[in-house]
Amino acid sequence: MASLKALKLRIGSVKSTQKITKAMKMVAAAKLRRAQQSAEAGRPYSSRMTDVVQSLASRVTAGPQAPKLLAGTGKDDTHLIVLATADRGLAGAFSSNVVRAARRKAEELTAQGRTVLFYIVGRKGRPVIQRFYPKGIIAQYDTSEMKAPTYANAQAIAKDLVDRYMTDGIDVVHLAYANFRSTLVQEPTIDQIIPVQAGAANDTEATARSGPPAAVEYEPDEEEILADLLPRNIAIQIYRALLENQAGFYGSQMTAMDNATRNAGDMINRLSIQYNRQRQAAITTELVEIISGAEAL
């Protein structure tokens, strides 16, 4: 059984930890508000850009003149998964949930005979992927110095992906990230970003938002517009994923620190009860010894 001194030191240590977790919860809550606002503000633009690109893509006839980012390589052999996770921990299962979803996708593709490669964004996903796919990681984008995602960061990642898609024999690119729903729910999501999928399922949503499609003439033609919009759309989808990831990270961290603070409080209560019982037992023992000595005299 632990001594009174050891229990007192343990209680003090847990109280110090509780102060840290409580402060981290408050910091995460403050950062979450800004990150959530940024994520929510980016969703309409990202969704509308996807609608525009898909609308243009549906009007373009696949052929040698069609952009490669739209028409694809004509093969479906090599898939690249862009895995976006956090750089720091203490956020519950936030990063591990995204990594788990990416691994499931990779296992499905491997079972179909496809080659799977990984492009890592953030540090938390690399150790797990390196353990299961030691030769599958082709690059990593360092976000350790990035306080908040910027469009410039997304552009840099998108440019690197497009260059690799054009030259490295990659056929399909997927983006894995955590879609922020609430502080308790961050939904792992995997979207195909290259080649662009024309006539996707959200055409119904677009029609519901904006009504029936109007007759539109494009100047210059659709191919030239797509040549400019397709790389931009990739950057925007990556930017949205980074914003969603940041909001999801702070939401998960706030929940984890709240749980840790409450668990620390429960532990302090248990240790305090144990300390008081042992202290009372020691006092009782001393009183018995004193009374026994007095009676002996």
- Between residues 43 and 294, which one has the greater pLDDT? 43
Angstrom CA distances, 132 to 53, 56, 89, 128, 129, stand at 36, 39, 20, 6, 5
Query: Which class for 27: exposed (0-12), middle (13-18), buried (19 or more C-beta within 10 A)?
Result: middle
Q: Tokens at residue 129, please?
A: 């992927």
Given this model, what pLDDT does residue 200 score? 46
Q: Tokens at residue 22, please?
A: 């409580």
Alpha helix ranges (H) inside 124-173: 126-132, 151-167
Band (206; pLDDT cuts 50, 70, 90): very low
Query: Nearest-CA neighbor of 54 among 199, 232, 266?
Result: 199
Give CA–CA dist 1/283, Å, rounded: 17
Instruction: Please confirm whether the linkage preceding 220 is cis (ω < 30° from 0).
Output: yes
Per-residue pLDDT at 204 exceeds 50: no
Give CA–CA dist 203/129, Å, rounded: 35
Phi, psi angle pair for 213, to nearest 5°: -65, 140
CB 230 within 8 A of CB 69: yes
Instruction: Please confirm whether the linkage preceding 212 is cis (ω < 30° from 0).
Output: no
- For 160-208, strand residue ranges (E) read 172-180, 186-194
DSSP structural state of residue 140: E
Band (13; pLDDT cuts 50, 70, 90): very high
Given this model, what pLDDT does residue 79 score? 93
241-257: per-residue pLDDT in tens? 999 999 999 999 999 99
CB 12 within 8 A of CB 163: no
pTM beyond cutoff 0.85: no
- Between residues 241 and 219, which one has the greater pLDDT? 241
Given this model, what pLDDT does residue 297 score? 63
Per-residue pLDDT at 176 exceeds 50: yes
Band (288; pLDDT cuts 50, 70, 90): confident
Q: What angle do CA 225, 56, 188 make, to 5 degrees?
A: 105
- State the DSSP H helix or E strand holding residue 240, giving kind and residue range, or none if neither: helix 222-296
DSSP structural state of residue 214: P
CB 268 within 8 A of CB 12: no
